[in-house]
Amino acid sequence: MQRCTYSCNTADHGLSRRAFLGASTAAALGPSGFANAYANAELAKTQKRVLVIFLAGGASQLETWDPKPNTDTGGPFKAIPTSVPGTHIGELLPYTAKQMHRLAIVRGLNSVSDDHGIGEKIMLTGRKPEPAVEYPHIGAVAAKLLGNSAASALPGHIQILPKGSSGFGKADATFLGPKFGSVSLGDGKPPADLLRPANMTAESDAAREDFRRKLNDRFAKSRKSAATDAYAESFEQAERVVKQGEVFDIEKEDPKVADRYGRHDLGRHFLLARRLLEAGVTYVKVSHSNYDTHHENFDFHIEQLGEFDRPFAALMDDLAARGMLETTLVIVMSEMGRTPKINANYGRDHWSRAWSVALGGCGIKGGAVVGKTNANGTVVTDREVYSGHLFHTYLQAVGLDSSKSFHPNDRPIPIADPKTAAISEILA
């Protein structure tokens, strides 16, 4: 069945799912958000992972990765030297400064939209929104293309949110199918039904599962189908998640390590992120709120970056010490930057035209700085890139061919925007 292959067509999710379910193996049907159970054990060691740290609201590039001290836009802060000679970042990131040899900075980003929602979409999908196609988020793409390690049954796409409830999202996977949709952990809490209820014993749970399996086995003797297999298998997968439930409990962590991360929300969330990545989750996003500083930009950046700096450095050190940094791509991004112009309320407003993103770990050339803005940061003067360039870069950093396409409904949709290419200068 040939479907419309032109980009003006809205991706028809109903059909996407149909195509997805049409694949007649249980593996393809498999429930979702789970590990690729068929990945071999070797993969566990070399499994590539992605960690996105999302500074929600739009962190100021001038207070972070691209300081312009003593200019009309620079604000009151200093630029400080880093572990990379010649590279300076904002004074509010003293611990991060010591990590710069592990990080690359892209200083010439133009992300096109000054709107929170659209900007977030652009940064997470690597595409400008098109009325016709909903592109999957990097988390869904990573979960699909990288797959969890064989040892892990955990969802492949997890986001740790600063607050709120926990649950399952499906929209951000779009045509990749709901199995790659994000599982949200509000304030790090696992979704309510993820773990066995307190009033149910393990024995009782096991007993009812045994009986369920027996029934399914009998039923499958004469009525086996891809769908019934997928349904039965989903319970096996869920049970494996439950068995890994301790990963969500940071109290299991060495208190010394927890101290290094800091005994506060973001410290806990970073620590949880590391535990999840270590347990084989492909993609974790940690959001830090909030940087939408239209008012008192400088005071608020002191507070927010003060929360961010030390735990982030601890996280980088911890990933490195555990040998995970080689296989984990770390990205620090926002939905946009902030205006170089300081407004009458000491604030900075929404700004997409010239800002920065930092990357590190897997596939990234530590210490590299690419792109430049002018003296007061109002214009990109060298190596302007779009979110598409970053998207290619993320994929290539973790060893994927970013020129390939997905084929929902037999219709090719390039994984990354073909009008852009990877930023080779920062790839290791």
Q: How far is the CB of 269 from another protein (least distance, A)?
A: 12
Element (H, E) at 271: helix 265-278
Segment 52-111, which members bind another protein (CB under 8 A)? 57, 69-70, 72, 75-78
Q: How far is the CB of 364 from another protein (least distance, A)?
A: 29
Q: Tell which one of 44, 95, 129, 167 touches another protein (CB under 8 A).
A: 167
Decide: is 5 part of the binding site for another protein (CB under 8 A). Answer: yes
Q: How far is the CB of 98 from another protein (least distance, A)?
A: 18
Stretch that binds another protein, among 25-33, 121-129, 245-253, 375-383 (CB under 8 A): 25-33
Decide: is 270 part of the binding site for another protein (CB under 8 A). Answer: no
Q: Tell which one of 25, 27, 165, 171 touches another protein (CB under 8 A).
A: 171
- Measured CA to CA, the distance from residue 70 to residue 189 in angstroms comes to 43
- Measured CA to CA, the distance from residue 81 to residue 409 in angstroms comes to 52
Residue 379, CA distances (Å) to 88, 291, 336, 407 in order = 19, 21, 15, 38
Looking at the Cβ atoms of 156 and 363, the one nearer to another protein is: 156
Question: What's at 249, amino acid-wise?
Answer: D
Looking at the Cβ atoms of 248 and 300, the one nearer to another protein is: 300
Looking at the Cβ atoms of 95 and 231, the one nearer to another protein is: 231
- Measured CA to CA, the distance from residue 328 to residue 397 in angstroms comes to 9
Q: How far is the CB of 94 from another protein (least distance, A)?
A: 11
Decide: is 25 part of the binding site for another protein (CB under 8 A). Answer: no
For 298-346, the DSSP string reads HHHHHHHHHHHHHHHHHHHHHHHHTT-TTTEEEEEE-S-EE-SS--TTS
Strand partners, 168: 183
Element (H, E) at 233: helix 226-243
Q: Tell which one of 90, 267, 280, 347 touches another protein (CB under 8 A).
A: 347
Decide: is 165 part of the binding site for another protein (CB under 8 A). Answer: no
For 48-92, the DSSP string reads -EEEEEEEETT--STTTTS--TTSTTT-SPPEEE-SSTT-EEETT
Which tokens belong to 338? 């902030």
Per rule CB under 8 A, count of chain residues that contact another protein:
94
Q: How far is the CB of 294 from another protein (least distance, A)?
A: 5
Segment 280-319, which members bind another protein (CB under 8 A)? 289-290, 292-296, 298-300, 302-304
What is the three-class DSSP state of 373?
A: strand
Segment 200-259, which members bind another protein (CB under 8 A)? 200, 204, 207-212, 214-216, 218-220, 222-225, 227-228, 230-235, 237-238, 241
Angle between helices 265-278 and 297-321 (to 10 degrees): 30
What is the three-class DSSP state of 294?
A: coil
Decide: is 37 part of the binding site for another protein (CB under 8 A). Answer: no
Which tokens belong to 247? 């990963």
Looking at the Cβ atoms of 233 and 318, the one nearer to another protein is: 233
Q: How far is the CB of 227 from another protein (least distance, A)?
A: 4
Segment 172-191, which members bind another protein (CB under 8 A)? 178-179, 181, 183, 191
Q: How far is the CB of 217 from another protein (least distance, A)?
A: 10
Decide: is 46 part of the binding site for another protein (CB under 8 A). Answer: no
Decide: is 3 part of the binding site for another protein (CB under 8 A). Answer: yes
Q: How far is the CB of 351 from another protein (least distance, A)?
A: 15
Q: How far is the CB of 201 from another protein (least distance, A)?
A: 8
Looking at the Cβ atoms of 42 and 410, the one nearer to another protein is: 410
Stretch that binds another protein, among 100-108, 164-172, 309-317, 416-424 (CB under 8 A): 164-172
For 140-200, the DSSP string reads HHHHHHH---TT--S-SEEEEESSS--EE--GGGGGG-GGGSPEEEETTPPPGGGS--TTS
> At CA 208, angle to CA 247 and CA 232, rounded to 5?
75
